[in-house]
Amino acid sequence: MKILEASDYADLSRKAADILLAQLRGKPDSLLVLPTGNTPLGLFRELVRAARSGAADFARVRFVTLDEYAGIAGNDRRRLLLWLRKELLDPIGVADDSVLAFDPLADATSEVERIEAGIAEYGGVDLAVVGLGPNGHLGFNEPGSPFDSRARQVPLTPESIRSNAAYWGSEADVPATAFTLGLGTLLASRKLVLIASGAAKRDILARTIDGGISPEVPATLLRRHPDSLAIADRAALGG
Ligand code: GLP
């Protein structure tokens, strides 16, 4: 795993955008995985700016969603796909048929098969960008998730329910289960990029970089990936 230090959040967002835009120049029909959460918002702003200025062309890109709450309606305000649509996909003009997304109400078994089959049909994930959960989760791969796990439905840990409460109001607003791509799905992506910002991520980032490689810290999976990169700002790196 390479580590790229950014001076601050704006620099992190630019560096992540540079990598994504270089990926698209090399392969305009890339299949991308992008996270929700607060960390990627600056990256999304950079991408929207690139699309509007004509510096990037997203016409042939395809996306697969990293994670999604389960058991909510398709138009629920908490739907992570809608977050991604609002912050990125709508502003850059990506149509629905270019997005492979978990359906929150679908039967879990057939839904995860559909998503994995869709990824295989596109020829695999070219670039996955992931955020860092406060407990080291990637997507909703909670501590203990096997490194070879594939897309599946999972219960959220109390820690993730607590951290996700910040997005929706209270812990009671956070669904108890979610769909997620698996750690094995992410390991199979051609390039894997982690973005982490701020002092709140300092301890878990240190464990990700220097701690033992173990499913107990799912983000340590990056150190098993042949082409992985962590982009972190100085606050997260402890500088
Ligand atoms: C959430 C999501 C992850 C996200 C992570 C970090 O629970 N399931 O996909 O990357 O936690 O979120 P944030 O960027 O807001 O810190």
**Substitution candidate for ligand 1 out of 12, 36, 145, 222 with most atoms within 8 A of CB:** 36
Cβ-in-10-Å burial (0-12, 13-18, 19+) of 128 comes to buried
- Which pLDDT value is given to residue 115? 98
pLDDT one-digit tens code per residue, 171-226: 999 999 999 999 999 999 999 999 999 999 999 999 999 999 999 999 999 999 99
Residue in 192, 61, 31, 34 with CA at minimum distance from that of residue 125: 31
Alpha carbon of 192 to those of 39, 71, 93, 115: distances in Å?
A: 16, 29, 24, 19
Whether ligand 1 lies within 6 angstroms of the CB of 36 is answered as yes
Positions of the chain with pLDDT under 70: none
Alpha carbon of 186 to those of 21, 48, 134, 146: distances in Å?
A: 20, 25, 19, 12
- Which pLDDT value is given to residue 13? 98
Which residues make beta-bridge pairs with 62? 31
Distance (Å, whole) CA 117 – CA 102: 12
**Substitution candidate for ligand 1 out of 78, 137, 208 with most atoms within 8 A of CB:** 137
Residue in 65, 57, 64, 66 with CA at minimum distance from that of residue 20: 57
Q: What is the CATH number of the domain that holds 153?
A: 3.40.50.1360
- Which pLDDT value is given to residue 214? 98
Q: How many domains does the chain have?
A: 1
* Residues classed as catalytic: 67, 135, 137, 142
Domain that holds residue 197: 2-237
User: Which atom of ligand 1 is closest in space to residue 200's alpha carbon?
Assistant: 16
- Which pLDDT value is given to residue 129? 98
- Which pLDDT value is given to residue 104? 98
Look-up: residue for tokens 């999604």? 68
Whether ligand 1 lies within 6 angstroms of the CB of 160 is answered as yes
The strand pair at 177-180 and 152-155 is best described as antiparallel
User: Which atom of ligand 1 is closest in space to residue 39's alpha carbon?
Assistant: 14
What does pTM read for this prediction?
0.97
